[in-house]
Structure 1
Amino acid sequence: MMISRIITTALLLLAIPFLTAFAQNSAKIEKVLKEIDPWVLTDTSKILAFIDSTNAVTTEKIQSSELWQPTVSDLSFLLGIDYVSDSKIDNTGRIYFLMRITGESAALFYMDKPMGWPVQLSPNNWTEEGYTISGYSVHPSGDYVLVSVGKHGDEMNDLWYFTRSGSFHPLLVSRTVSYSGSIFDEDNPDVFYLYTYDKKTIQICKYTISELRLDTLYTEPGVFFPTDYYKGQMAVIRRFSAFESQLLLYDVAANKMTELSDTSIYYSASFTNDGQIVTYTSVESTGDEYMKMCIIDPANPKESKVIYDPKMEIDDFAFERKTGIAVVVLNKDGYSELACVDVNGSAIATPQPEIGVISGVSSNEKGEVILTFSTPKTPPAAYKFDLGDNKLEQIASISTFGFDFSNIKVDLIKYKSKDGTEIPAFIYIPSGAKKDGTNPAIVNYHGGPAGQSRPHFQRNMAFALSKGFIYMLPNVRGSSGYGPSYEQADNLEKRFDALNDAERAIDYLIDEGWSNPDKIAIWGASYGGYTVNWLATQCPEKFACIVSEVGVSEPDHTILNSNPIFIPSWEKEYGPVGKDLNRKLAPLYYAENLSRPILITGGFNDPRVPPSDPRRFAYVLSRLGKAVWYFEETEAGHGASVKAQVIHDLATNYVFTMMYVMK
């Protein structure tokens, strides 16, 4: 067996150079990098001058088009249609949710009865100051809410305190330390726990509200975070990589961390009333099996019992200690289903939504459950049901201002990759489209890589379909939603397989007669940006233009210049920094092969993909004489922060695309 594995690995490594369409010829690129690298990370004046210059050129190109104003007008209307998200409920029955209806960014609202008048908690002037809500936690009693707030997309979360009556003040504010993961001591409302992160170290902390005091309790090297607290104990997950983690128990009084498991995959963990822990894990899964919900008794560490095996992906679960019931959100081929089980694995009657996507679920000790749900045709809204009841009641709704989304149609299809693997994808087809090869098309690759494109409500989809675009969303190997084996199928050398999957999505549109290379645009953001950067330098003859948003062009550069604490984790997934594999997988070093126009964007405050990466790619392409346009938003991070930026970015992407595929 060991000899077989060695031979297989050797053959795979020998095959790598032949998987790419072009050989790397990087001498010229290295010379150009010597021009930009001395200032691209540290010289603020040169960076801002570069941004001003490139933004002006890109803005002139896009906004001088006759397509600009009508596109902005249409998208402004569609993006004005709001949404309800991240709904929660406390033990008094008060319902909370995020909604953007009164401003440029989402605000926190509550209402005391279903379909009641929503009362806004967070202030509108936060947007003017660059603040956006990244999340919030409601104390079970409903006495107060803790709101996490970032600034201009920097993801360094401040923490604000809101009373039940609506008064508020900041508790923890810093642009160099992030305060996250608030969990409550149900027996002492004056105390809550959280973890802090300064891009180097994570610390578990205790905050005493009456004293406005933050105490550091525990730290260790690497990535770890608490998920629940109960009677002096914390459930903690230690993360080695996206596919390696460990469950721990932290005793607050003794300041002692105990390992409850060996290395496996653990997502979230909650205490039961008797101190056991319910978790979603792969520890009892083998081969291609999905992860399962298990229960672990800390008195018998490294022993676990399966309580629920749905044989599909679990997106989320809310476990309520007093009822002993978990509300589970399932993912079947991208669509959501609901299930409720108790700690013995017994099923509880549960309503089923129509075909769509559930995003977030919350429950209280009375057995009331709140969730957010959308379909391709209906905006996200909040719904409620009682445990044991099959009735799902809508409790908050959104106006579409009379716009009819009923003609939006999405199909789940599968296409074959180069090695015969079937790859799932969602495809939107405009009414009346024919398989005559003349339809404009967009292939949009999701970020992650462990993300998933899903058939939720997308306001801009109506615009794309109105312009005749076929819109395809592939879930290539490495995507979540299809089990751990599929999610890990792009690690290290296997990333070439996932990139082949991405290329075959384009082939599908051509082979099926939906479109042709002169009519196809490829889009991607974050890791999706990496994907289109790769395709742009490997098979440019298959499409007309590229939109790469906050994307990676050189994995080593991004790994080394974003979050140092995650370097060991990323190296296990992408490859060791400085080694040949990451070099071979870097689109930057194939830049001479690009032969189609490309729009590249960056975010000045981006903590995930450092803006220096897309800057370098755009600079190199420009110096090589390629058709490249670069735009960097100076008040955003890993994507747009406010509605005006979303409209600007989408309008820019669509106008750029239409200029090349609708000639």
Structure 2
Amino acid sequence: MHKSSTIYRIDFDFNDLSLPVEKQIIRNVSTLIGQLLYTSFQEKLIFTSVTTLMENSDGFEIYSIDLRNTSTLSKLTNNEAIEFELQLSIDGQHVLFRTLSLNSNKGKLNNTQFRLHSLNLINRQITRLAENFRGNINGYAFKHNSSIYILGQFGTEVQIYTQHLPIKDLIQHNGWNGTYESIVLSHDNESIAFVYSSFEKPMEVYFINNINQLKLAQAITNENNLFTQRNLPQTKVYSWINKDDHQTIEGILHYPPGKFESKNLPLLVMIHGGPYSASLNKLDFAWYQWSSLAASEGWLVLEPNYRGSTGYSDEFLNEIRYKPVSRPGKDILYGIDQLIQDGIVDQYKLAIGGHSYGGFLTNWLITQTKRFNAALSGAGAIDHTSMWGMTDMPVLIDYLFGGFPWEVPYIYQNETPIYQLDRVRTPTHIVTGENDIRVPTSQSYIFERGLNYLGIPVKLITFPKQGHSLTNNP
């Protein structure tokens, strides 16, 4: 369904907010608007277009409206990507934005990690920033002197870097190991605020007067102090080799409290979604992130950063293409094998689970091995052909599989769990949102029906009024 937006100007009297406001229409645009900025430079509005059905990248671009002639609508980008997180430069002459690749199988480019770009509003030239950084760009903030702070993810770490334009190389600042995010700064001085977390420290807001004080930063919030009073799991990064192609894979191990480096532990594999995401060095208690809780119940938890994860190069991310579940699945299985070989894990006490793409891989892996005692599938696809036909993001499916179902039917069949469901022996718990359109709820219904027909113990919970994210999860 074609959707449009109306941009209004609303004038307030800030001396008396009780007075009626004046509202006038600037113009209508034939797209949904994601983000809207005003720049006094050339008197323009800058906005991103978005679409609710992601069949290609055409619906995601940046436009400008000249307020001196509002009939003029200019398209400023033509990327095969989603542009988001727009910020104006201090002088208002540039717009910075991050991109998430959204190439189709017909595109000439491969998908990449999240990138950062600068759009010159004078000549409309787009420049990629942090071009030499091989990791993922998680965020950024302008400095007042034509420099930019960049939050760069490399492996399981997210650190703060500076790029002094026009120099391409980044300078990494000497901070703590862990994850920095949500960085903001004052343009009147060099003071900086950010959120920081690590395996040992829960998320809090920190403040420093300048970047040289990064290791001396003090928390200015105490929202998660409760977790500092608990005996939390100890965590470390663990790496192994996929013996099929000798690629090094790493993940995060969460040990039960008081059992760090212990042997012969029961294992729960918790697989992140995305696939363009990663498990990081942070203490996270989001609804989908309960590794610490599981470890506190006695499990050793492995979070694998399989092929397709961010933070390990664009090449690593794209090695998932054409083998969207079998290759990352092998990455995970070899990690389990290594944990058993190292004596860390009891091979007879294994469980697996994940949400979204983590559910995709869970569904796949229980068709490939009978070693798991239990599985938790959250919003996972079971039939990728019907998934392509019903999801709101078909462009990702046809890219990962290398074509439409009728173009590469052998890949869809070879990489789809439903055609190998008779191999499953693992009791499975399925959860989904009633209104999920990213991974349609019907995928979980098909999965449950198939396991029931096969006599495999299965339970399905459908969360009412929930979509892909179970944000009201009780």
TM-score range, shorter chain: 0.7 to 0.9
Q: Do residues 627 (structure 1) and 457 (structure 2) align?
A: yes
Change (3 A) 1:225 1:629: same
Q: 3-state DSSP class of the match of 2:159?
A: strand
Q: 128, 131, 141: which one pairs with 1:318?
A: 141
Q: 1:416 aligns with which of 227, 231, 241?
A: 241
Residue 13 (structure 2) aligns with: none
Query: Which residue of 2 is the match for residue 33 of structure 1?
Result: none
CA distance in 2 between partners of 1:387 and 1:510 (Å): 47
Contact 1:289 1:311 in 2 (8 A): no
CA distance, structure 2, for counterparts of residue 485 and residue 467 of structure 1:
37
Of 350, 353, 360, which residue of structure 1 is paired with 2:182?
360
Q: Is the 8 A contact 2:179 2:196 kept in 1?
A: yes
Kindly tell me the number of residue pairs found equivalent between the two proteins. 436
Residues in 1 aligned to 2:113 and 2:385: alpha-carbon distance in whole angstroms? 32
State the distance in 1 between where 2:296 and 2:114 align. Answer: 40
Unaligned runs of 5+ in 1: 1-199, 647-663
Q: Residue 192 of structure 2 contacts residue 211 of structure 2 at CA under 8 Å; is this kept in 1?
A: no
1:569–1:447 distance in 2 versus 1, CA, 3 Å? closer
What is the one-letter code of the residue matched to 1:445?
I
The answer on whether the counterparts of 1:291 and 1:483 sit within 8 Å (CA) in structure 2 is no
1:506-517 pair list within 5 angstroms: 506-517=336-347
- 1:517–1:543 Cα contact (<8 Å) kept: no
Q: Which residue of 2 aligns with 1:234?
A: 46
Counterpart pick for 1:545 among 358, 361, 374: 374
Structure with the bigger RCO (C-alpha within 8 Å, sep 6+) is 1
Distance 1:308 1:402, change over 3 A: closer
Partner of 1:661: none
Give the conservation status (yes or no) of the 8 Å contact 1:292–1:310: no
Matches within 5 A, 1:431-470: 431-432=258-259, 438-458=264-284, 460-470=290-300
Q: Are the aligned partners of 1:349 and 1:387 in contact in 2 as well (CA < 8 Å)?
A: no
| 1:464-488: CA deviation from partner (whole Å, max 9, x where unpaired) | 3344321100011111222322222
The answer on 1:206 being equivalent to 2:18 is: no
CA distance in 2, matches of 1:576, 1:276: 38
Which letter does structure 1 place at the counterpart of 2:46?
M
Distance 1:537 1:234, change over 3 A: same
1:375-390 residue pairs with structure 2 within 5 A? Answer: 375-387=198-210, 390=213
Q: How does 1:591-630 map to 2 (within 5 A)?
A: 591-630=421-460
Give 2:105's aligned residue.
Answer: none
Could you say which residue in structure 2 is the equivalent of 1:76?
none
Preserved contact between residue 235 and residue 270 of structure 1 (Cα < 8 Å): no
Report the alpha carbon displacement of residue 457 of structure 1 after superposing the two structures with TM: 1.0
Contact 2:323 2:415 in 1 (8 A): no
* In the alignment, structure 1 residue 572 sits paired with structure 2 residue 390: no
Query: Is the 8 Å Cα contact of residues 353 and 392 (structure 1) preserved in structure 2?
Result: no
Distance 2:291 2:398 in 1: 36
Work out the CA distance in 2 between the residues paired with 1:353 and 1:246: 35
CA distance in 2, matches of 1:214, 1:318: 32
One-letter amino acid matched to 1:251: I
Sort the Cα spacing of 1:203 and 1:369 in 2 relative to 1 into closer, same or farther, 3 A.
farther
Among candidates 250, 271, 277, match of residue 64 of structure 2: 250
Judging changes above 3 Å, is the alpha-carbon distance between structure 1 residues 547 and 348 closer, same or farther for their aligned structure 2 residues?
closer
**Displacement after TM superposition at 1:264 (Å):** 7.2
Deviates more, 1:331-340 or 1:350-359: 350-359
| CA-based RMSD | 3.8
CA distance in structure 1 between the partners assigned to 2:435 and 2:115 by the alignment? 37
TM-score normalised to the size of structure 2? 0.78
Shift of 1:232: 0.8
1:338 aligned onto 2:167: no
User: Could you tell me the percent identity over the aligned residues?
Assistant: 17
Query: Scaled by the length of structure 1, what TM-score is found?
Result: 0.58
Letter in 2 for 1:626: I
Query: 1:432 offset after TM fit, Å?
Result: 3.8
Higher helix content, 1 or 2: 1
Q: What's the offset of the Cα at 1:490? A: 1.1
Are the counterparts in 2 of residues 491 and 573 from structure 1 also a CA contact under 8 Å?
A: yes
Q: 1:439-476 CA distances to partner (integer Å, 9 max, x unpaired)?
A: 11111110111111112114554543344321100011
